[in-house]
Amino acid sequence: MPFTLNKTGICLLWQSSRQNQNQGHSLMELLVAGISSGVILLLGVNVFVNVLRITENLEAKTTQSNTLNRALSYIQEEIKQADYVMAVTGSEDKKCDSASIDSQHCLKIIVSTEEFIYYAFDDISIGQHTWQKPGVLRRKTIKKDGTDSGWRVLVDGLISVKEKQPTVTCNQDSIQWDISNWNTDVYGGTRENKGGFRFCLNNKGKSQLVRIFLYGHIMGTKERLYVSGIALTRGRFPGN
């Protein structure tokens, strides 16, 4: 018996074809949507990672900046209470012992001859340390009776001898330092003039005016932070 299609059969075939086409379009749409979602997700992850890195970098800068400023304020307050300050080498003053620190000159603060305070830079980039590398500023006190506190860390995370070194001048940042032939030597660095601690004194010997420089290292970057401040001794200066 020959096969024939009536109107009803033709309609059913047409509807079936349309359904298959619709199913094909739906699958393609799902594939496109899936790919688009993957691209958007990947872009979202990249944006999130970049934002996270920027946030971490800003937090690191803020933390280090606050740390440096607190250390600077601490040193300034000690200088204000002193009679005078000096820059001393290990050969001039054995308390500035090069075996424990790397500064060629220590900052020596004399407080009414009852107490002597020393500040110096120390490179800790090599070996295991509890402090944040690569450099620290150390402080120690010597009482009149000879009691020695030993070198203790005031601030860590300073640049060391391996980082790009700053060019330090006493009159930088528009500070009028070269008044009346003031001393313009910069102290506090290593023998190679490196490290994150520097200071200037208005005289080569006993001085009343000090400018302090601290250079901090940001972990995981090549960036450095810089703070500077001036302090004047308010004690009894010799000869006054």
Q: Which residue has the higher pLDDT, 114 or 162?
A: 162
Q: How many Å from the N-terminal Cα to the C-terminal Cα in the chain?
A: 134
Please state the domain extents for the chain: 56-232
Mean pLDDT across the chain: 83
DSSP H or E stretch at residue 212: strand 209-217
Work out the pLDDT band at 12, boundaries 50, 70, 90.
very low
* pTM score of the predicted model: 0.77
Q: What is the pLDDT of residue 9?
A: 45
Q: What is the pLDDT of residue 183?
A: 94
List, for residues 41-87, the tens digit of each pLDDT value: 666 666 655 655 656 666 778 888 899 999 999 999 999 999 999 99
User: From residue 56, how far is each of 45, 61, 91, 220 by CA, in Å?
Assistant: 16, 9, 44, 11
Q: What is the pLDDT of residue 14?
A: 44
List, for residues 180-227, the tens digit of each pLDDT value: 789 999 999 999 999 999 999 999 999 999 999 999 988 777 788 999
C-alpha 178/C-alpha 176 separation (Å) is 6
